[in-house]
Amino acid sequence: QLLTHNMLMAPGTKNGFPLAIEVEKMETVESEFRSEFTARMVQKPVTQVEYGALLQTLAGLGMDGTLPPAVPDSYESNEEFLRALHHVLMEARRVIDGTLVCPETGKRFPIKDGIPSML
């Protein structure tokens, strides 16, 4: 899921974020929409989504325009934005097989059966 991807950084790097995604196989998985949970992904420092990196990843996956270029004011009550963010983070295009690529070193990390190997 892109929520997990948004928290990954290549080990031992200073600029190993965001990892590029090269997709071999993807699927869409439905997930129950919970607006409060989704809003917390934006607001809490511990779980905060790096929005710029998310937009960069979406562009790399050919999903430009799925989200607005910036988090809208009063996003907590903007159901259209929260539903789009939920779809991107929790449902859209779960990577089954592919590769994560470090932007700093070019090191490649395989994804098999939805699980990235960062070793």
- State which residues form the domain around 61: 2-116
Residue 29 sits in a domain of what CATH number?
A: 2.20.25.10
Instruction: Give the contacts of 95 (CB within 8 A, at least 6 positions apart).
Output: 5, 21, 23, 25, 26, 111, 114
Q: What is the pLDDT along the chain (119 residues), one digit of tens a residue?
A: 676 777 788 888 988 888 988 888 888 888 899 898 888 878 655 556 888 888 988 888 888 888 999 999 899 999 999 999 998 888 766 788 999 999 999 999 999 998 889 88
Number of domains in the chain: 1
